[in-house]
């Protein structure tokens, strides 16, 4: 039975990954979810699996050496799946320090604790793997149609967030090169799906359309992102753990590039189509909700992943096309209004008012 230590499992992708893994392997695996429960972490995301015998939760900060060492001491961990991070670009522009602490120092601490736990003579525990979950933003911004991010594309991060993720990727690579540490890296494009915190484009727009609030589009709305349904990312991570080569990095994306303004219009049209015709919200749902606001500082223009390596080496392909994925996502937010009400209460209002004033 494989034991996974998942960091950041109460966040968006981490909680979807845990659902994916129990859905696929059932009681044949154990998962220990280690999360500090920052504003972005929510145990409600795991309510339906919290009683599974293979699941346990430890509230801990990834920078806390004693707490993480204790998790390794108490459990025979085979695989670390490292999601925990500060993940929002806008927050990194306003408060970069916490990004360096969590994303760089936190990753270093996870590597050190795993290295101590897994060291066996000159090598490491048989089969042990450390999967570092990273982003396509480390490659910077693409110019020119038909250009893509490959694993060989030089790093050129622009935001404090992407710089902190790039730094953490380099530290992971250094542990592979220096100690032969059994790590791998995935660099994924923009995810969307259930449980995403409404500070990111898609859940903000869904929530605002449903509440009749304006839809804040940065700059000219023509920045391009490459969107992937979160369960396809979860599947990629599992496949890289199983079949990826130690020390390698794998880009993850599904060739689904769209301008932000296209995404916003698709969300408006799809919600209109999915709501019953006599729903009173129909009256206010139209493109007039779109409001162009001040651009993000240092705003990357275009991201686009070339997933050739993960496809040819590992056989991963995305399964959910955007038309289906966005409907599944909107349906989830329709059915979880109380989740949205809870996460948008308290500090969120302050964040929103300051961010979009």
354, HSE (Cβ side, Cα atoms, 13 Å): 8
Q: How far is the CB of 9 from ligand NAD (least distance, A)?
A: 7
Q: Among 93, 114, 231, 210, which residue's Cα sits nearest to residue 162? A: 93
Which residue has its beta carbon closest to ligand NAD? 11
Binding-site partner at residue 89 among ligand DAU, ligand NAD, none, CB < 5 to 8 Å by type: ligand DAU
204 binds, among ligand NAD, ligand DAU, none (CB under 5 to 8 A by kind): ligand DAU
Nearer to ligand DAU, 22 or 303 (CB): 303
Point out the residue whose Cβ comes nearest to ligand DAU: 135
Pairing label, strands 55-59, 183-188: unpaired
- Nearer to ligand NAD by Cβ, of 40 and 330: the residue is 40
Torsion sign over Cα 146, 152, 158, 160: positive
- Collapsed DSSP state (helix, strand, coil) of residue 145: coil
Of 6, 20, 22, 61, the residue at the interface with ligand NAD (CB under 6 A) is 61
Site for ligand NAD in 17-56 (CB under 6 A): 35-38, 40-41
Closest CB 187 distance from ligand NAD, rounded Å? 7
- From the list 5, 6, 10, 68, which residue makes contact with ligand NAD (rule: CB under 6 A)? 10
Q: Of ligand DAU, ligand NAD, none, which one sits near residue 124, judging by CB under 5 to 8 A according to partner kind?
A: none
Work out what residue 218 binds among ligand DAU, ligand NAD, none; the CB cut-off runs from 5 to 8 Å by kind.
Answer: ligand DAU
Determine if residue 221 is left, alpha or beta; phi over 0 gives left, psi from -120 to 50 gives alpha, anything else beta: left
Position 107 contacts ligand NAD (CB under 6 A): no
**CA 132/CA 124 separation, integer angstroms:** 17
24 close to 54: Cβ distance less than 8 angstroms: no
- The interface partner of residue 296, options being ligand NAD, ligand DAU, none and the CB cut-off 5 to 8 Å by kind, is ligand DAU
- Phi and psi at residue 31, to the nearest 5°: -130, 125
According to DSSP, the β-strands at 215-218 and 290-293 are parallel
Query: Per DSSP, which regions of 244-289 are E strands?
Result: 249-252, 257-259
Binding mask 195-234 for ligand NAD (x = CB under 6 A): --x-------------------------------------
Measured CA to CA in angstroms, residue 215 lies from 163, 270, 350 at distances of 28, 15, 18
User: Where along the sequence are the contacts to ligand DAU (CB under 6 A)?
Assistant: 87-89, 135-137, 189-190, 200-201, 204, 216-218, 223, 225, 260, 296, 303
Q: Is 153 in the site for ligand NAD (CB under 6 A)?
A: no
14 makes contact with ligand NAD (CB under 6 A): yes
* Near ligand NAD in 160-199, by CB under 6 A: 165, 188, 190-191, 197
**Residue 6: closest CA among 75, 91, 87, 97:** 75
Q: Which does 333 bind (CB under 5 to 8 A by kind): ligand DAU, ligand NAD, none?
A: none
How many helices (DSSP H) and strands (DSSP E) are in the chain? 13, 14
The answer to whether residues 198 and 207 touch, using CB atoms and an 8 Å cutoff, is yes
Cβ proximity of 326 and 266 under 8 Å: yes
Contact between 8 and ligand NAD (CB under 6 A)? yes
The catalytic residues are 136-137, 161
Return the closest-CA partner of residue 195 out of 4, 19, 353: 19
| Min CB(283)–ligand NAD separation in Å | 33
- Spatial CB neighbours of 347, under 8 Å, sequence gap ≥ 6: 39
Distance in Å, CB of 42 to ligand NAD, minimum: 7
Q: Which is nearer to ligand DAU, 204 or 241 (CB)?
A: 204
Task: Name 353's Cβ contacts closer than 8 Å, sequence gap at least 6.
Answer: none
Partner from ligand DAU, ligand NAD, none binding residue 37, C-beta < 5-8 Å depending on class: ligand NAD
């Amino acid at each position: 039975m494989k034991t996974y230590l998942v960091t950041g499992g109460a966040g968006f992708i981490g909680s979807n990954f845990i659902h994916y893994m129990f859905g696929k392997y059932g009681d044949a695996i154990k998962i220990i979810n280690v999360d500090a429960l920052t504003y972005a972490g929510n145990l409600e995301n795991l309510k339906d699996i919290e009683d599974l015998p293979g699941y346990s939760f430890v509230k801990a900060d990834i920078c806390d050496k004693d707490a993480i060492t204790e998790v390794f001491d108490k459990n025979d961990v085979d695989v670390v799946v490292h999601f925990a991070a500060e993940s929002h670009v806008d927050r990194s522009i306003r408060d970069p320090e916490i990004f360096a602490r969590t994303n760089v120092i936190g990753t270093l601490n996870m590597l050190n604790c795993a290295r101590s736990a897994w060291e066996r003579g000159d090598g490491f525990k048989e089969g042990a793997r450390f999967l570092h979950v990273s982003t396509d933003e480390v490659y910077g911004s693409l110019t020119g149609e038909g250009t893509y991010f490959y694993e060989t594309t030089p790093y050129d991060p622009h935001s404090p967030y992407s710089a902190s993720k790039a730094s953490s990727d380099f530290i992971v690579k250094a542990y592979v090169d220096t100690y032969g540490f059994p790590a791998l890296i995935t660099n994924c494009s923009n995810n969307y799906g259930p449980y995403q915190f409404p500070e990111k484009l898609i859940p903000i727009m869904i929530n605002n359309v449903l509440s009749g609030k304006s839809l804040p589009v940065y700059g000219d709305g023509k920045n391009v992102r490459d969107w992937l349904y979160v369960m396809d990312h979860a599947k990629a991570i599992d496949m890289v753990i199983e079949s990826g080569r130690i020390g390698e990095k794998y880009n993850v994306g599904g060739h689904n590039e769209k301008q932000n303004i296209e995404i916003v219009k698709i969300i408006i049209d799809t919600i209109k189509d999915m709501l019953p015709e006599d729903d009173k919200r129909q009256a206010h749902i139209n493109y007039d909700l779109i409001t162009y606001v001040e651009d993000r500082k240092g705003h990357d223009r275009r991201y686009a992943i070339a997933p050739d390596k993960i496809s040819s080496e590992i056989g991963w392909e995305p399964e959910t096309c955007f038309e289906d994925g966005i409907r599944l996502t909107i349906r989830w937010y329709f059915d979880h209004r109380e989740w949205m009400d809870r996460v948008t209460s308290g500090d969120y209002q302050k964040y929103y008012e300051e961010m979009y004033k």
